[in-house]
Homo-oligomer: A and B are copies of this chain.
Amino acid sequence: MFRPMMRRSWRPLATALKPSLASRSYASAGSPAFEWQDPLNSKALLTEEELAISETAERYCQERMLPRVLQAYRDENYDAAILSEMGELGLLGANLEGYGCAGVSTVASGLITRAVERVDSGYRSGMSVQSSLVMGGIHTFGTAEQKDKFLPGMAKGKLLGAFGLTEPNHGSDPGSMETTARPHPSKKGYLLLSGAKTWITNSPIADVFMIWAKLQETGKIKGFLVERKDCPPGTLETPAIKNKNGLRASITGMIQLDDCPVPEANMFPDVEGLTGPFTCLNSARYGIAFGTMGALEDCIERARTYALERKQFKNNPIAKYQLVQKKLADAVTDAAFGTLAAIQVGRLKDEGKATPEMISMIKRQNCDRALVHARTLQEVFGGNAVSDEYGIGRHVANLFVTQTYEGQSDIHSLILGRAITGLQAFV
């Protein structure tokens, strides 16, 4: 049980770290040697606690998650135990205060997502939904009762959450959602939810669903916490969506609501409109921005290793090719720049100075650049890239999805464009 250790001190864990891991990030601090894993020395910006959290998370992910991911991806099979293991370690909802959460900095929470996404974006997605979308939403908008009821179990990973916003016909434009909540015709204090949500990470295994729906009477969007155990048969279905091109190590499904009864006590009382879901998404997007840097770094490490080991033409390692070195240099540069930007926005967030556009900017840029470089580095593997054992093809497929979800890249460019020009260009 790592948990208590986490609050008191993250340090001791580091002593047990495998050398290979330790050397990844913490080569002789002080001496100004260039480290390709952290070329602009971003760790100099981290606190002792953050460094320790990062080590803990990296250790868990490399030792416990990594061995599972290849088979999970092949089989499209998500091991829900991962969330409870992360809960044990205190990695869920880590930046929230109270309710059994660790209350660490936003940057520290980003370091956790980076560690997880270094293994797989799907695993990070599963965690983001739990931590940022659902726990974060309840923490921000929930009543005291709602927080007490849900957050402790979710922090431990014993109660799983899903976030229901996107609908089949409304992806980039959630304001047009069709899911409705109407007063229960007979049961006082209850509403009936009807509608369909799709591309919902964790939905087939979730215990609690944060559903965004329009009140039939006012047309205003409100948030509801739907508990699976309380839904009468036939009112809630969560079929899995299979045969995905990416994020196959996470589980995805639909949420189908057919006059599903929900007590008014499970509605967020104050928040209305898109403010609610957008606040949750903002937090999750921060995690994506930081997380994708982990996936990119893993691609770099894999490509570098391959290029040093693979010999062609007079037995030279292909790492000696100019064309290969340029690919590595380009990727390493964007990883370094993207990490600094993510840290900066995290600091601003904790100081109350971050804006949604900042999040749009780093989410978009880091996803875009991670994807571009993952694809370019995949070329280093030549024909061997087609084998899933090299791992990079999985990152490429995953990162495409990260670029499209929680705001496709083009949509974020228009959000930024609007902020820059004052004009909106959505057709």
Residues of A within 8 A of B (CB): 30, 32-34, 36, 39-42, 44-45, 74, 166, 169-173, 176, 199, 241, 243-247, 252, 304, 307-308, 311-314, 316-317, 319-326, 328-330, 332-333, 336-338, 340-341, 344-345, 347-348, 351-358, 361-362, 364-365, 375, 378-379, 381-389, 393-394, 396-397, 400-401, 403-405, 408-410, 412-414, 416-427
A309–chain B nearest beta-carbon distance, Å: 10
A351–chain B nearest beta-carbon distance, Å: 8
A128–chain B nearest beta-carbon distance, Å: 15
Which residues on B sit within 8 Å (CB–CB) of A355? 32-34
Query: Assuming A32-B355, A171-B384, is B328 touching A336 (CB within 8 A)?
Result: no
Chain A contact residues: helix, strand, loop or mixed = helix
Q: Quick check: B387 and A321 within 8 Å, CB to CB?
A: no
Q: Quick check: B336 and A382 within 8 Å, CB to CB?
A: no
Query: Assuming A330-B413, A403-B379, is B387 touching A344 (CB within 8 A)?
Result: no
Q: Quick check: B41 and A172 within 8 Å, CB to CB?
A: no
| CA–CA, A200 and B86, complex, Å | 42
Q: Quick check: B353 and A388 within 8 Å, CB to CB?
A: no
Query: Assuming A243-B388, A337-B338, A361-B39, is B419 touching A326 (CB within 8 A)?
Result: no
Q: Quick check: B329 and A416 within 8 Å, CB to CB?
A: yes
Query: Assuming A34-B357, A404-B379, A409-B379, is B420 touching A320 (CB within 8 A)?
Result: no
Of the residues B172, B312, B397, B405, contact of A172 by C-beta under 8 Å: B312
Which residues on B sit within 8 Å (CB–CB) of A409? 379
A314–chain B nearest beta-carbon distance, Å: 7
Q: Quick check: B352 and A344 within 8 Å, CB to CB?
A: no
Of the residues B356, B358, B413, contact of A329 by C-beta under 8 Å: B413
| CA–CA, A352 and B358, complex, Å | 31
Q: Quick check: A386 and B322 within 8 Å, CB to CB?
A: no
Q: Quick check: B344 and A45 within 8 Å, CB to CB?
A: yes
A48–chain B nearest beta-carbon distance, Å: 17
| CA–CA, A281 and B307, complex, Å | 25
